[in-house]
Amino acid sequence: PSTVDMFTSKQSPVSRRGLGFDRWDPDSTKHYPSDLASSQTYGHTGYTGTCVWVDPSRGLVYVFLSNRVNPTVSEKLGNLKIRGRIQDVVNKAIDESKK
């Protein structure tokens, strides 16, 4: 647990990142990684459009596999905010199932 805490905890006052993972951004104008992500969320994105996010508060591990580089590089995935939008659908479904 201490190693996981070290890799997922904020390590610098100038960055939201942990040692090995990206983290939820407290800047409410960014809504990163998604609008409904909790402050406990951590994960990593990949160049090809893939991502993995963990939200311990929801008991969620979210993996999104995609390919934005084949046959050519496209920014459509990012411009449409597909990763965050899908993550919000999953978060909302989990939250509503607990009501």
Is residue 22 included in any domain, yes or no?
no
Domain that holds residue 45: 27-97
Is residue 16 included in any domain, yes or no?
no
Residue with tokens 């597909």: 82
Residue 99: per-residue pLDDT: 84
Is residue 87 included in any domain, yes or no?
yes
| pTM for the model | 0.84
Is residue 82 included in any domain, yes or no?
yes
Is residue 9 included in any domain, yes or no?
no
Is residue 88 included in any domain, yes or no?
yes
Give the model's confidence band at 73: pLDDT under 50 very low, under 70 low, under 90 confident, else very high. confident
Number of domains in the chain: 1
CA-to-CA separations, 39 to 12, 48, 64, 67, in angstroms, rounded: 16, 25, 20, 28
